[in-house]
Chain A
Amino acid sequence: MDSVLIPAGVKRCSLKLFLLWTLPWLGLLAWGALSAFLCLWKGLNQTNMTNYFAFAVWIVFDLSVIALGAGAFFTGFLTYIIGKKELKDIINIAVIIGFICYSGAVAMLGIDIGQPIRGWFIFWHANVHSMLTEVSFCITCYLVVLIIEYVPIILANRKLDEVPDFHLFGNNLHRIMAVFAATGVFLSFFHQGSLGGMYGVMYARPFAFREGFYVWPWTFFLFILSAIASGPSFLILCTKLVQGITRKKLVPEKAFQTLAKISGWLLASYMILKIADTLGWIYGVIPKAGMTFMDFFSEGPYGVWLLICEIIIFGIIPAVILLIPKARQHQGWLITGCLMNCTGIVLNRFVLTIVTLAIPVMPFDKFVSYLPTWQEWGISLALIGFGVLVVSLSYRYLPVFPKEAELNPVAE
């Protein structure tokens, strides 16, 4: 009955089945909505955050999705500015994923701050020296860009497209997309960076503090690099997932390979810098604070193993996998590589947030532990529910994959 909305020449499952599929994700959303309501109504005492864990699971989620969402701007960059033709087949889904990640992150931040209604003070009373200000400005602006990029895709819906105004608008928008893409790239670079900067500048927190260039600590650049290294991998994963679920080939393999290759190279270079940075930190920052590297791991569950995982297991290994053509052409390895790549980046964000705050700085201070409440989980997971729904709807009603019809001819 919703067939009129479904793109021409492609096959979609029955509406009933589709609705059934959306149920669990709607469930997650409902859970999230309840949690959000409680946090806004009763305040953040609904969480398990404390004066020690001022940032918690939400921030980890924020940082992660924003890093992974980097696939959007980076693919846009490659497509519109470098002009990698093959990526045109995947740019739409990239934009959608980017949109999901960023809108989700912004929503979470809105709940995370104690006075959401005053959120706009960041802009109005901006303190330009704060990395967080930079983050907020760039993310908001970039979200606008993402919406602009998303609009033509929506307008391409069969029914909407019949409206000439929409059709024209969409087309015209599409024509100058390069301009927006370029702006987006600029903005993204900065907020990815300043997200890293947020931690690197905390000079009284030796675990996070880093030296740097001018006002930007090394983490600033590492975050950009790690984001664009993992973004494409995440994009590959998501698309492969969609393909798996729809049991269709939606994007030519070439696109995947290009992304994988790039992802691999970036990850490799990121790893080199990351290792250099870590050594510089161990022999520079930490001793200056009167500590030794191992002091950080004297108590609590967090140990050196975290760093080993982050750098070796989920850093170097996936880089190698993605760099070896034979390996990345093999589906299994490709997925593994991308998966490990993303895990590594998430781990990095986790360490920089949670572990930084968990490790006491004052010698007579004590290690405190933290576990999220169901409200915190609710809001975090809602992000996933939201994502799946948006992708599903877009996939069902929008021509997300230009090559789909051609790759899957509908048998009359």
Chain B
Amino acid sequence: MELSRRNFIKFVAGGAAGTALSPLPWKLTDDIAIWTQNWPWVPDPSTGEFTNVNSVCNLCPGGCGISVRKVDTRAVKIDGRTDYPVNPGGICPLGMGGLQLLYNKTIRYPGPMRRIGPKGKGEFVMITWDEALDILAKRISNLRKKGMPEAVAAVDGNQRMSTMSVMVERLLTSVGSPNYVTTPSIDDTYLISNLLLQGTDGPMSYDLENADYVLSFGCGLLEGWGAPGRVMNAWGLWHDSAGKTRAKIVQVESRASNTASKADRWVASRPGTDAALALGLAHVIIKNGLYNSRFINNFSFGFENWTSADGKDHVGFKSMVLDKYSPDQVAKITGLNPEDIVSLAKDFARAKAPIAIYGKGKDDLDGGVYECMAVHILNALVGNINKPGGVLINDPLPLSRLPEIKQDAIFKQGLGKPRIDQAGSLQYPFAGSLINNLTNKIIKSPKSPVDTILIFSANPVYTLPDGGAFKEALEKIPFVISFSPFRDETSYMADLVLPDHTYLEKMVDVVWPTGLQYPFYGLSKPVVEPLYNTRNSGDVIIELSKRIDSTVQSAFPWENFEGVLKARAKGLFKAGGLVTYDNMNPAWERKKYGNGSKHNYTSFEEMWTKIKAGGLWYQPVHGFDGWEGLFKTPDRKFEFFSKRVQLAVDEYAGKTTYKTALKNMGITVTGDQVCMPHYEAVSSDVNMSAYPLRMMPYEMINLASGWIPSPPFLYKTIFDNQLKGDLSFAAVNPKTATEYGLKQGDRVIIKSPAGEVEAGLSLSDGAMPGIVYLPLGFGHTAYDEFLRGKGVNPNEIIDAEKDPLSGHSVWWNTHVNLVRI
């Protein structure tokens, strides 16, 4: 007994000592420590050979050059290209996050899909491309057989003039439907005002880099306006203390956006009064004789009072402005001080290279035509058109036209029918397409006039500022086809999804980024092999045409999309341009043609290979400075008084009465003013006492609000007074908040005639009193856990008016009320 216990104790003690001294415990401790350093659930990226593939980003029409770093077949990083004219080096946050769009499986369609669940639920089954194309082709050819090809419609989100958009329009035309509509873009506004003032059909070309005074009317220069890579680079140049004299930047905007805050001068005028302000500045400039008389006298029309052929006297722009837009009158409209308007006008007119630019935030949406014209007039007054740092006049990119389409009976009959959206009609003579009209027509009519709608590179259900009307329309349209590669809100409504490649998997062109001042053509190339069973929509259209019928097929004689790209690029070869870029030699530096425009190719094929390799074709900014034969208006002059408008109004008036014509066109003034840029107060029949405040959506460079979803990376850059958890915040001025007894962080319902959304309240002195600012880009109902249900989408409550003359939607002026929860 004694012994055994003692032995037992000895044994225990010895055992303990033994293990402690043995390496075992130490080895184990070490091993599990090593295990924590290689946890199986911590990803371990495979390595391999590193390569860089040059391409072009086309997440927006900006067309920045990108260089994608690859490890074997994986793309691991996107960087900006320094050997690219648009964006020397940098890119925007969206482009930087692109790989998350490519590789996030849960937001992409792995192949063609047929809907099985109810519309909007996003329940699909995968089918083969054969089935998918057959279903669609049958549907279209049946409509053609039935003699109602116009029941086919398409919504196209591709950039204007890009080969994809040409293909889509061509498909519709060849099928015989006039109902090709595009998603809104400022480019429409630019095109119209250029046409009316200058008679030119080229893109708006702002020579920003060479300007020394930039007067921006609402352009979100730092919010993603134009080509972000290019504009932000310009911003760097303007503020480079080492470089040339710093340019002065003036921002006209109601909210302290990044642009307004970072500008040298922030002009906080009431939203929608840009035209008044511009004309007020014109008033001062004219009154003080600060305008360029050489330009005015020799190259403009309608400045002074004039008498028309029929002997009628007409008021000139000068007398209109002097009479109606004195600083005091304008001050009343804009809420600014008269003195400030005067000083602003003088600063502008006295600058060496001043430029007045017009926009609305990112320019993903329309602007006002009269506003745009009024702003552009300022450039005319100081004669800064086709001059360094001014507005340049360019022809459209010299791309070859595609061969004429063979016309058959169905074709003629279909195209004979009026567009459902009335674009180009007497009422909307200048509009190219009016998607809101289409929507309303479909909603209003008992049976949808559209039977089959094809949606390309667009997510209108989410992006259209129409209070959710487009979604309602889709509910009514019998057959909806989406070509989106992403599981977005619109494709959730689709009966058939024919997923496109993402931008890193396909070859597609970028045609003249918005606002760029020199001819530019970018060509992206596949950076990685397509990850899933998707197809380039261009190829799909060609394949589809084959299956519809021979007439339609005859419109697409190419075997693939690249064939079409090449066919159009022929024109570039004729025009001759550079296909390589040396960043010592910026494309915007004018060198009297000296800019090495001697190109380094001899045959088209050679040029094409080089374009494919470098992803770019451009002509350096043209150096000539002269106004001879620039303008293509009826009388070859810059028209302060637009004869085109006059004709249009008269024609329409001929059909009805002058009054109703103006009324339907949304014009409140009469007489000669109608044909001149003037200020139109936003009309609205909303009961102001019920909706005393106004809601303006605002855009951010670091949040995608277009059809491309935000890469999750971007949410790291969003501040927690913009999004917290699932609550997005409306920015409101503290004064306004106290008026309504609201305080920082309150949850509120924002009510408009079109609906209501819930948001948090974030007090900000950067917000104009009386206005509620809601961020665009939140409130997705599709995609995955990163985006779904985060915040609200202001578009849902936007109740848009119509812009005079163009009929575009006025999306930035919704009357709302705040209710605390």
Q: CB–CB under 8 A between A and B in the complex?
A: yes
Closest approach, in angstroms, between the C-beta of A137 and any C-beta of chain B?
17
- Asked if B9 contacts A117 (CB within 8 A), the reply is no
- Asked if B36 contacts A115 (CB within 8 A), the reply is yes
- Asked if A121 contacts B33 (CB within 8 A), the reply is yes
B residues apposed to A, CB below 8 Å: 5-6, 9, 29, 32-33, 35-36
A166 nearest in chain B by CB position: B9
Give the chain B neighbours of A115 by CB distance below 8 A.
Answer: 36
**A165: CB under 8 A from chain B?**
yes
- Asked if A117 contacts B6 (CB within 8 A), the reply is no
- Asked if B36 contacts A118 (CB within 8 A), the reply is yes
- Asked if A120 contacts B9 (CB within 8 A), the reply is no
A121 nearest in chain B by CB position: B33
Give the chain B neighbours of A126 by CB distance below 8 A.
Answer: none
- Asked if A163 contacts B32 (CB within 8 A), the reply is no
A119 nearest in chain B by CB position: B33
A106-127: which residues lie under 8 A (CB-CB) from chain B?
115, 117-118, 120-121
Q: Can you sample 14 A-B contacts with CB below 8 Å?
A: A115-B36, A117-B32, A117-B33, A117-B35, A117-B36, A118-B33, A118-B36, A120-B29, A120-B33, A121-B33, A163-B5, A163-B9, A165-B6, A165-B9
In Å, the complex CA distance between A85 and B750 comes to 78
In Å, the complex CA distance between A165 and B29 comes to 33
In Å, the complex CA distance between A163 and B29 comes to 35
Closest approach, in angstroms, between the C-beta of A140 and any C-beta of chain B?
14
Closest approach, in angstroms, between the C-beta of A33 and any C-beta of chain B?
21
Give the chain B neighbours of A117 by CB distance below 8 A.
Answer: 32-33, 35-36
- Cβ-closest 6 pairs across A and B: A117-B36, A118-B33, A117-B32, A117-B33, A115-B36, A118-B36
Give the chain A neighbours of B36 by CB distance below 8 A.
Answer: 115, 117-118
In Å, the complex CA distance between A118 and B34 comes to 9
Give the chain A neighbours of B35 by CB distance below 8 A.
Answer: 117
A99-154: which residues lie under 8 A (CB-CB) from chain B?
115, 117-118, 120-121
Closest approach, in angstroms, between the C-beta of A110 and any C-beta of chain B?
14
Give the chain A neighbours of B5 by CB distance below 8 A.
Answer: 163
B29 nearest in chain A by CB position: A120
In Å, the complex CA distance between A118 and B29 comes to 9
In Å, the complex CA distance between A121 and B32 comes to 12
In Å, the complex CA distance between A115 and B33 comes to 9
Closest approach, in angstroms, between the C-beta of B396 and any C-beta of chain A?
48
A115 nearest in chain B by CB position: B36
In Å, the complex CA distance between A309 and B29 comes to 46
Most B-side CB within 10 Å, residue of A117, A120, A163: A117
Give the chain B neighbours of A165 by CB distance below 8 A.
Answer: 6, 9
In Å, the complex CA distance between A165 and B7 comes to 11
A120 nearest in chain B by CB position: B29
Give the chain A neighbours of B32 by CB distance below 8 A.
Answer: 117
In Å, the complex CA distance between A114 and B301 comes to 76
In Å, the complex CA distance between A163 and B35 comes to 44
Given contacts A117-B36, A120-B29, A165-B6, 6 further A-B contacts (CB under 8 A): A117-B32, A118-B36, A120-B33, A163-B5, A163-B9, A165-B9
In Å, the complex CA distance between A16 and B33 comes to 45
In Å, the complex CA distance between A117 and B36 comes to 7
B36 nearest in chain A by CB position: A117
Closest approach, in angstroms, between the C-beta of B20 and any C-beta of chain A?
13
In Å, the complex CA distance between A289 and B437 comes to 64
In Å, the complex CA distance between A163 and B7 comes to 13
In Å, the complex CA distance between A73 and B758 comes to 61
B13 nearest in chain A by CB position: A165
Closest approach, in angstroms, between the C-beta of B765 and any C-beta of chain A?
16
In Å, the complex CA distance between A115 and B32 comes to 11
In Å, the complex CA distance between A121 and B35 comes to 14
Give the chain B neighbours of A118 by CB distance below 8 A.
Answer: 33, 36
Closest approach, in angstroms, between the C-beta of B223 and any C-beta of chain A?
23
In Å, the complex CA distance between A163 and B6 comes to 9
B5 nearest in chain A by CB position: A163
Give the chain B neighbours of A163 by CB distance below 8 A.
Answer: 5, 9
Give the chain B neighbours of A120 by CB distance below 8 A.
Answer: 29, 33
Closest approach, in angstroms, between the C-beta of B365 and any C-beta of chain A?
34
Closest approach, in angstroms, between the C-beta of A293 and any C-beta of chain B?
29
Closest approach, in angstroms, between the C-beta of A14 and any C-beta of chain B?
30
Give the chain A neighbours of B6 by CB distance below 8 A.
Answer: 165
Give the chain B neighbours of A121 by CB distance below 8 A.
Answer: 33
In Å, the complex CA distance between A340 and B112 comes to 75
A207-227: which residues lie under 8 A (CB-CB) from chain B?
none
Closest approach, in angstroms, between the C-beta of A215 and any C-beta of chain B?
29
Interface string of A163-174 (1 = CB under 8 A from B): 101000000000
In Å, the complex CA distance between A117 and B32 comes to 7
B10 nearest in chain A by CB position: A165
Closest approach, in angstroms, between the C-beta of A157 and any C-beta of chain B?
15
Give the chain A neighbours of B33 by CB distance below 8 A.
Answer: 117-118, 120-121
Closest approach, in angstroms, between the C-beta of B723 and any C-beta of chain A?
17
In Å, the complex CA distance between A117 and B33 comes to 6
Closest approach, in angstroms, between the C-beta of A139 and any C-beta of chain B?
19
Closest approach, in angstroms, between the C-beta of B722 and any C-beta of chain A?
15
In Å, the complex CA distance between A121 and B34 comes to 11
In Å, the complex CA distance between A248 and B458 comes to 84
Interface string of A52-82 (1 = CB under 8 A from B): 0000000000000000000000000000000
A163 nearest in chain B by CB position: B5
In Å, the complex CA distance between A265 and B33 comes to 47
In Å, the complex CA distance between A245 and B502 comes to 75
Closest approach, in angstroms, between the C-beta of A124 and any C-beta of chain B?
9
Closest approach, in angstroms, between the C-beta of A250 and any C-beta of chain B?
32
In Å, the complex CA distance between A372 and B541 comes to 60
Closest approach, in angstroms, between the C-beta of A314 and any C-beta of chain B?
36
Closest approach, in angstroms, between the C-beta of A173 and any C-beta of chain B?
14
In Å, the complex CA distance between A248 and B412 comes to 111
In Å, the complex CA distance between A118 and B37 comes to 9
Interface string of A302-329 (1 = CB under 8 A from B): 0000000000000000000000000000
Closest approach, in angstroms, between the C-beta of A123 and any C-beta of chain B?
11
Closest approach, in angstroms, between the C-beta of B23 and any C-beta of chain A?
15
B6 nearest in chain A by CB position: A165
Closest approach, in angstroms, between the C-beta of A64 and any C-beta of chain B?
30
Give the chain A neighbours of B29 by CB distance below 8 A.
Answer: 120
A116 nearest in chain B by CB position: B36
B26 nearest in chain A by CB position: A120
In Å, the complex CA distance between A115 and B35 comes to 11
In Å, the complex CA distance between A144 and B610 comes to 76
In Å, the complex CA distance between A165 and B35 comes to 42
Most A-side CB within 10 Å, residue of B5, B6, B32, B33: B33
Closest approach, in angstroms, between the C-beta of B54 and any C-beta of chain A?
38
Closest approach, in angstroms, between the C-beta of B33 and any C-beta of chain A?
5
Closest approach, in angstroms, between the C-beta of B7 and any C-beta of chain A?
11
In Å, the complex CA distance between A279 and B416 comes to 92
Closest approach, in angstroms, between the C-beta of A119 and any C-beta of chain B?
9
A198-254: which residues lie under 8 A (CB-CB) from chain B?
none
